[in-house]
Amino acid sequence: MGNSLLYKIVASHLVSGQMAPGEEIGIRIDQTLTQDATGTMVWLEFESMGIPRVRTELSVSYVDHNMLQNDFRNADDHRYLQTVTSKYGAYFSRPGSGICHQVHLERFGVPGKTLLGSDSHTPNAGGLGMLAIGAGGMDVAVAMGGGPFYLTMPQIVGVQLLGQLGPWVTAKDVILELLRRLSVKGGLGKVIEYYGPGVEGLTVDQRATICNMGAELGATTSIFPSDACTRAYLQAQGREEVWIPLTADPDATYDENIALDLSAVEPLIAQPSSPDNVVPVREVEGTPVAQVCVGSCVNSSFEDLSIVAAILQGKSVHPNVSMTVTPGSKQVYTMIARSGALTSLIDAGARILEAGCGPCVGMGQAPPTGAVSVRSSNRNFRGRSGTRDDQVFLASPETCAAAALFGVITDPRQLGDAVKIEPPVQYAVNDNMILAPSDEPENVEIIRGPNIKPIPEFAPLGDTVQGRVLIKVEDNITTDHIMPAGAQVLPLRSNIPAISEYVFWRVDPDFVHRAKDWSGGLIVGGLNYGQGSSREHAALSPRFLNVQAVLAKSFARIHHANLVNMGILPLTFMTDDDYDAIAEGDELEISDLRSALEQERPLHVRNVTQNCAFQASYDLTGRQIRILLAGGLLNTISDEGEQV
């Protein structure tokens, strides 16, 4: 019986544990990726460990999220990142170099290597055959210090791709089809591995698109084989020497199998306000559109933007539509300029944005009140765009271009003959915006602006947790709900006291006031609590407000780990009736906590207000229990960077 590709890479990097689904394993990390929204805190955490130099093969710090410099704060953080990386041995990708996932694919990704990133869309690099996983900042900081990354050994879902994509059908439609089938919870505890004859017809950029949005399935990661197509891509990037062939064994077995005939996929679109609310484009044709945004960390490649430019060439964006285009990197920007695609986009009336995350993370281009925005990005959670009552649809760049031309949602098959862009034989390589670390770190001064504050210190977990329910929320609450992004909030990412004023800001503006007035408390959530972004601020800021525990029906993987790392107890309801019986404001009490966790017994939760009780379970390893008892991961790390 053969092995899957994922199994092979994990086995070659295994540090501890047994490779059986559900067991905790530790793996060696070759590369790390951070960005300025989450990575600023990563570097503050790394500094606090007292380690003189990063110990990975490669670590890169990108600036791509907080590009708006309305005041000193973002600029100061960028300068901090440039100096701290220079001193500690990481590369620094300057503002304007591009979006982390696109640039990493182009310039740093290596088949068969492991990549841990403080961004949930890190699996984008799975398009090159990397084992690329998104994680919370503390886990990435530990990996930069040479520590293993711990995760539950996932189930491996084999997706056999058959056939070829039809005209106007794209890789975006493939991942939307999987989201339609599986939902945003369908990938929890799983890795999606693609194989089969249909793989050969997909370019590396198309594969990366599919892997990128595997995060929306809740999957740990997604991966494609490294084959002749991968080799051609790396050769075109001037990096053929890092290529190795990697594939599953012919007789590999999977925990779950899905067959997907690419020729049967049609243009799809995700309706507001969830990536799995997917229908065929033809079913919503004619819906008036006010805004179209092409490009983010997904669908911003030279291939994608060239297709959009070809569709728009000689035409004009509809007068009722505001259209923006975001190149994924400086390389992409340069190449569309040289090819003439940029001129076609500008002539048609598209607004060209800088190479950054921009509209996807709510940094500008918020749509009009209640209006429809069609985007090629990966998330459409309510309010993420910056407009509270937004109506964001997710679709392929081709569908976006059709909507921009006609002013209504339009099936791209209405455009006539399909546009085909072949991958370049040679990419425009110029790494002048990526800075190597200093050879004289002792001479580098780390520059900190006044908004950069020390990491708060947290006490060990007590033997009793007692407090009121600060908020009760429904299923699929995202980290955007818990800790919003956007131009108003993201500049505060290095200042925990300040950013904590925005916890649940868009869900319940009174949450922070209650948390302060009640001296902290507990949060009650539904299924898949904490899905979406990897931002650890969604755990760190509640911890700062003295949130002691979260009771939920289930948790998203990264957020569960972040809660543990910050010393917040993640508990799971054993029945839906227990969830239904709790109300906001109820006082809960959990006694004999430390001994129960040490003995791995269920916890007894007493509802003091309603004079009743129930049991709560937890999915914690012995290592995680030690972290919780210590008050968080940082408290368990010695001066040498070793975990106690």
Instruction: Say how far apart CA 287 and CA 643 lie, in whole Å.
Output: 55
DSSP line for 313-374:
TT----TT-EEEE--SBHHHHHHHHHHSHHHHHHHHTPEEPPSS-GGGGTSS-PPPTT-EEE
| Residue 65 designated active-site | yes
Multiple choice CATH, 268-415, 3.30.499.10, 3.40.50.720, 3.40.50.10300, 3.40.50.2300: 3.30.499.10
Select which of 533, 534, 541, 554 is catalytic: 533
Per-residue pLDDT tens over the stretch 185-227: 999 999 999 999 999 999 999 999 999 999 999 999 999 999 9
Q: Which residue has the higher pLDDT, 202 or 602?
A: 202
Judge whether 268-415 and 465-636 match in fold. no
Tracing tokens 């070659």 back to the chain, one arrives at: 12
| Residue 533 designated active-site | yes
* Segments making up each domain of the chain, as ranges: 5-264, 268-415, 465-636
Select which of 13, 65, 207, 375 is catalytic: 65
Q: What angle do CA 625, 631, 633 make, to 5 degrees?
A: 75
Instruction: Say how far apart CA 265 and CA 181 lie, in whole Å.
Output: 12
Per-residue pLDDT tens over the stretch 235-288: 999 999 999 999 999 999 999 999 999 999 999 999 999 999 999 999 999 999
Compute φ and ψ for 543, nearest 5 degrees: -60, -40
Separation of first and last alpha carbons in the chain: 39
Task: Give the list of residues 6+ apart from residue 572 with CB closer than 8 angstroms, or none.
Answer: 551, 552, 553, 554, 555, 616, 617, 618, 619
Say what the pLDDT of residue 392 is: 94
| Polymer length in residues for the chain | 644
Compute φ and ψ for 405, nearest 5 degrees: -75, -40
Query: Residue 225, Cα to own-chain centre: how many angstroms?
Result: 22
Select which of 107, 121, 318, 379 is catalytic: 379
Select which of 30, 76, 77, 119 is catalytic: 119
Q: Which residue in 434, 535, 532 sits closest to 103, CA to CA?
A: 434
Say what the pLDDT of residue 329 is: 97
Q: Could you give the angle at which helices 302-312 and 341-348 cross, rounded to 10 degrees?
A: 50
* pTM score above 0.75: yes
Select which of 13, 36, 61, 64 is catalytic: 64
Mean pLDDT rounded to a whole number for the chain: 95
| Residue 379 designated active-site | yes
Per-residue pLDDT tens over the stretch 4-20: 999 999 999 999 999 99
Q: Which residue in 271, 65, 303 sits closest to 204, CA to CA?
A: 303
Select which of 101, 318, 413, 535 is catalytic: 535
Say what the pLDDT of residue 640 is: 40
Instruction: Say how far apart CA 341 and CA 422 lie, in whole Å.
Output: 14
> Domain 5-264 adopts which CATH fold?
Aconitase; domain 3 (3.30.499)
Say what the pLDDT of residue 386 is: 85
Write out 539-593 in H/E/C secondary structure. HHHHHHCCEEEEEECCECHHHHHHHHHCCCEEEEECCHHHHHHCCCCCEEEECCH
Say what the pLDDT of residue 638 is: 52
The CATH architecture of the domain made up of 465-636 is Alpha-Beta Barrel (3.20)
Q: Which residue in 270, 248, 268 sits closest to 160, CA to CA?
A: 248
